[in-house]
Structures are given as C-alpha cells and as structure tokens.
Amino acid sequence: MTTRTAARTATAPAPAVDLETRLALTEAAMNVRLANASAAIEINTAHIPIDPIPHIDAAPLLTPATSPCPYRTTVATALWRARNHLAARGWCTGALRDEQGAICLMEAIRVAAPSSSLADTAMSVLLEAIRRDFPDAVSVPAWNDRRATPHLADRYLDRAAELAHARGM
C-alpha cells in the first residue's frame, strides 16, 4: 500500500483592486439589480388597468385681496400703499413709467399719497431708510435706477413705513 501526500502549492495572492475598480464593479452590480427590479414591477403591475386622467375644468385661480393696512398713520399708510402699487403694476428703472405700465419708487409714492406734501414727506422718510444702509444715496430716483431687481425697493418701502409708523407720521 502506497500513500501519497498531496503537496501544497503556493498560490499567489489576489491582486489588489483599487477603489475606482471596486466602485465600477459595485455600480455595474447595482445597475443589474435595478434593471431586474424595474422589470419585476412592470410584470407584477401589467394586469392593473390604467384609467386616463379625467379632464377637470377647475375654476381660475383668483388673485388674493390685499390685506388691510396695518398702519394708522398717514405717511406709513402711503408707503404701504406704494408698495402694493409697485407689486400690482410692476417695478421699473430709468423712468416714472415704462411701456408695460410698471412704475418706479417715486411714481408709486406719488400714486399712493393723497397730496403732494404727503408724497414729499414719504419720499424723505424713504430716503432716510435707504441712507441707513446706502449712505451714498443721493435721491430715491437715483437709488432706484441703480437696482437690478425690485426686491430692495419692496424691502425699503416696508422699512420706511415702519420708520414712519414708529415716529407717528
């Protein structure tokens, strides 16, 4: 009786796989799993009838009414109304009004104020509110014309209304 012993052969260690290769292999495996899951969903839901979406004639959306004025003082109310006029008609630069009907800050205050003296007072309060953050502002129209969007115009009308209200104007 002869016995044979199996000799162990030395195997080379597996080559090191870098991170990029492992990520690519994982991505390929996930793509296969996602494709199988998608096919399974289509097969499992093929028997469900699909009703077309019914046509619904919805009432047109109504523009919400403006909220009541939160201020009881005349100048603050005029500035609040000017902001509403600006929001309703649109904002422009370089002119009092443009071809589409948009208005600048000065025109919004003129339209909102019941008198020219009240408009002048509102303009001076607005200029004061603007100069708190932009000390180099020469006038409201000049500051308005340097803006690219109406966001700051709205913000400073609000600030000026708060300032006028705090002063009882």
Q: What letter would DSSP give residue 115?
A: S
What does the domain layout of the chain look like in residue ranges? Answer: 74-167
pTM of the model: 0.60
CB 108 within 8 A of CB 161: no
Inform me whether the pLDDT recorded for 160 exceeds 60. Answer: yes
Cα(36)–Cα(31) distance, integer angstroms: 9
Please state, rounded to an integer, the average pLDDT across all residues of the chain.
85
pLDDT value, residue 81: 93
pLDDT single digits (tens) 58-89: 665 666 666 788 889 999 999 999 999 998 89
